[in-house]
Amino acid sequence: MSVVLLTMVFAAILAFILGSTLGFFREFFKVEEDPLIGTIREVLPGANCGACGFPGCDAYATAITSGQAEINKCSVGGKETAEKLSAIMGVKVSMVPVVAVLACQGSQEHAPLKGNYTGIPSCAGAKLSAGGTKLCAWGCLGYGDCTAVCQFNALSMGEKGLPRVDYTKCTGCKLCIAECPQQLLREVPRERQGAAVLCSNRNQIKAMVLKTCKKGCIKCELCVKNCPEKCIAMENGIPLVDYTKCSSCGTCISKCPTKAFVLLQDTVFPA
């Protein structure tokens, strides 16, 4: 018998012994999985996006079973999944569907650049190396870091250099919100109605705001002064709306000289 044949026979025997040993120890030390984990896993959508704060649906199912996670953290499955989990776990839960909204209108035609940027083509890289690429220090940098992390094809870069959200696909997973170095993507309830200012420029000097972005809020406070419901207040240079009072009358929109205000239900979430 040749050396090659002997080697093959020995290798086959050794592989059989090792395989049998590993199989024995696997069965001997096997930990039985809680069947509830499998039941919960079947309800979850299987996106494994991590929006719930866990590495994937398996980890989230395990965390729910052990009481380490709430059952309303799956934004992909939304209210329907939360209700199914509620029935399985025997607890009541409420879930408000949310989406991401870009609080910036500083497109290429409205917000000029500082100059030519030749560094890493990413928003995080541009902010870290050059402090941003636009004269507006608060504006969208336009390299699409948010679109790169979206797992549901809900984000794409528009022709004018701003990301666009497809609200038929947005699950509210918040990955884009966490990725944006300018913190321009905001979590907003999907069903919200009322006025909102799509600007994050906090410069208090009117002339500087207009120099850096023609669509920026110039802090004139005409929205605050003219709101019939008295539901708008300035906070850190940005008008904030109290949605428990806002009637969507549109007064702030008509009074805003730079058209920084929009109605969410008409402009951001059109029917």
Give tens-digit pLDDT for 96-116.
Answer: 899 999 999 999 999 999 988
* Average pLDDT of the chain, as a whole number: 91
Task: Out of 147, 172, 191, pick the residue that ends a domain.
Answer: 191
If asked whether residues 101 and 68 sit together in one domain, one would say: no
Between CA 214 and CA 53 the distance in angstroms is 38
Does the residue 30 lie in any domain?
no
If asked whether residues 110 and 157 sit together in one domain, one would say: yes
If asked whether residues 187 and 104 sit together in one domain, one would say: yes
> Which residues neighbour 127 within 8 Å (Cβ) at sequence distance 6 or greater?
141, 181, 182
At residue 172, the 3 state secondary structure works out as coil
At residue 118, the 3 state secondary structure works out as coil
Whether 78 contacts 65, CB under 8 Å: no
If asked whether residues 182 and 196 sit together in one domain, one would say: no
Q: How many domains does the chain have?
A: 3
Does the residue 144 lie in any domain?
yes
Mean pLDDT in residue range 238-252: 96
CA distances from 223 to 71, 255, 261 (A): 40, 6, 9
Does the residue 20 lie in any domain?
no
Give the pLDDT score at 20. Answer: 78
Give the pLDDT score at 165. Answer: 95
If asked whether residues 165 and 227 sit together in one domain, one would say: no
Residue 45: give the domain boundaries.
35-89
Q: Which residue has the higher pLDDT, 11 or 111?
A: 111
Give the pLDDT score at 16. Answer: 80
Between CA 180 and CA 119 the distance in angstroms is 18
Query: Taking the CA of residue 136 as centre, how many other CA atoms within 13 Å lie in the half-sphere pointing to its CB?
Result: 33
Tell me how many helices (H) and strands (E) the chain has.
10, 8
Task: Out of 44, 63, 89, pick the residue that ends a domain.
Answer: 89
Does the residue 128 lie in any domain?
yes
Query: Taking the CA of residue 143 as centre, how many other CA atoms within 13 Å lie in the half-sphere pointing to its CB?
Result: 20
CATH code, 234: 3.30.70.20
- The pTM (predicted TM-score) of the whole model is 0.80
If asked whether residues 83 and 111 sit together in one domain, one would say: no
